[in-house]
């Protein structure tokens, strides 16, 4: 069975491929912003692809941080800061763990969410940003974990099997997708799109779509089941 590190690398690979392919769609959605979201994300994940060979010598947490810094160093703009922050915080939270549990992953993504919200100037759900897909994903992951197992307070370690992770990411993906869909009817209150007020309605937030694609990329890898 593949190690978590191997799976993570495949997820990052798939994510990069899908996000690079989504360039035009993201740019188009960002045209009520400043139409640079797609090219930034492409630039960022091309750079990630360029540093993948270094992952061999790193563990899970450091791989995530490496991805985060690479994005923060190459994208620029809001998405560079937010995606960079997200991966860096996720990596920090995973820390030295080589085989994090499902609940470690959920906690890690939650701490990423927290820092993203602070970084964005207290972004909330409803502001029409990537938080609208990321926060429901985090809540869903938490809910799934609570429902499926008694709180294992204090232990935290322990290997996590593929099935649990699959269920977790499936839920996150669905929740992110629904959250992203809800951005369509929102009036932007944060980011550039907020300057146009009413006119931001009717357009999906590009950042929220990035989150959807990320969970989708993870899901595809987990489903491929290796």
Residues that bind Mg ion (CB under 5 A): 30, 33-34, 36-37, 77
Determine the interface stretch with ligand ADP among 31-39, 49-57, 148-156, 161-169 (rule: CB under 6 A).
Answer: 31-39
206 contributes a contact to ligand ADP by CB under 6 A: yes
Helix (H) or strand (E) segment spanning residue 156 = none
206 contact, one of other proteins, ligand ADP, Mg ion, none, CB 5-8 Å limit per kind: ligand ADP
In the complex, the smallest distance separating the C-beta of residue 166 from other proteins, rounded to whole angstroms, is 33
Q: Is 69 exposed, middle or buried (0-12, 13-18, 19+ CB in 10 A)?
A: middle
Query: CB under 5 to 8 A by kind: which of Mg ion, other proteins, ligand ADP, none does 207 bind?
Result: ligand ADP
CA pair distance 10, 5, nearest whole angstrom: 9
Residues 130-169 that bind ligand ADP (CB under 6 A): 130-131
Element (H, E) at 33: none
**Measured distance CA(220)–CA(200) in Å, rounded:** 32
Q: Which stretch binds other proteins (CB under 8 A): 135-143, 146-154, 157-165, 196-204?
A: 196-204
Residue from 131, 119, 140, 116 nearest 182 by CA: 131
Residue 216's contacts (CB-CB under 8 Å, 6 or more residues apart) are 18, 173
Figure out which of the listed residues 25, 28, 34, 178 binds ligand ADP, where binding follows CB under 6 A.
Answer: 34
Size of the site for ligand ADP (CB under 6 A): 24
**179 part of the interface to ligand ADP, by CB under 6 A:** no
Please state at what angle helix 60-74 crosses helix 37-51, rounded to 10 degrees.
140
Q: Of the candidates 218, 192, 189, which has an alpha carbon nearest to the alpha carbon of residue 37?
A: 192
Tokens encoding 13:
């690979």
Of 61 and 191, CB closest to ligand ADP: 191
State the Cα–Cα distance between residues 138 and 38, nearest whole angstrom. 25
- Residue whose structure tokens are 């798939």: 14
Nearest approach, Cβ of residue 199 and other proteins (Å): 7
Determine which residue in the list 35, 51, 52, 166 makes contact with other proteins, applying CB under 8 A.
35
Decide if residue 92 touches other proteins (CB under 8 A): no
Binding site for other proteins (CB under 8 A): 27, 31-36, 39-40, 43, 69, 72-82, 84-85, 119-121, 189-197, 199
């Amino acid at each position: 069975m593949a190690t978590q590190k191997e799976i993570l690398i495949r997820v990052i690979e798939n994510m990069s491929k899908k996000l690079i392919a989504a360039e035009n769609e993201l740019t188009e959605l960002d045209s009520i912003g400043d139409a640079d979201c797609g090219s930034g994300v492409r630039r960022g994940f091309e750079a990630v692809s360029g540093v993948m060979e270094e992952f061999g010598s790193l563990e899970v947490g450091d791989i995530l941080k490496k991805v985060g810094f690479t994005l923060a160093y190459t994208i620029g703009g809001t998405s560079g800061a937010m995606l960079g922050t997200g991966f860096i915080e996720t990596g920090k939270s995973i820390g030295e763990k080589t085989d994090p549990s499902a609940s470690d992953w959920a906690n890690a993504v939650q701490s990423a969410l927290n820092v993203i919200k602070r970084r964005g100037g207290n972004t909330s759900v409803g502001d029409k940003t990537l938080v609208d897909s990321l926060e429901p994903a985090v809540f869903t992951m938490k809910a799934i974990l609570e429902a499926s197992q008694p709180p294992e307070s204090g232990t935290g370690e322990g290997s996590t099997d593929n099935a649990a992770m699959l269920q977790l990411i499936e839920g996150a993906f669905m929740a992110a997708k629904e959250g992203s869909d809800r951005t369509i009817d929102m009036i932007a209150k944060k980011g550039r799109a907020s300057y146009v007020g009413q006119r931001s309605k009717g357009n999906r937030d590009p950042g929220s779509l990035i989150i959807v694609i990320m969970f989708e990329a993870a899901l595809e890898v987990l489903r491929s089941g290796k």
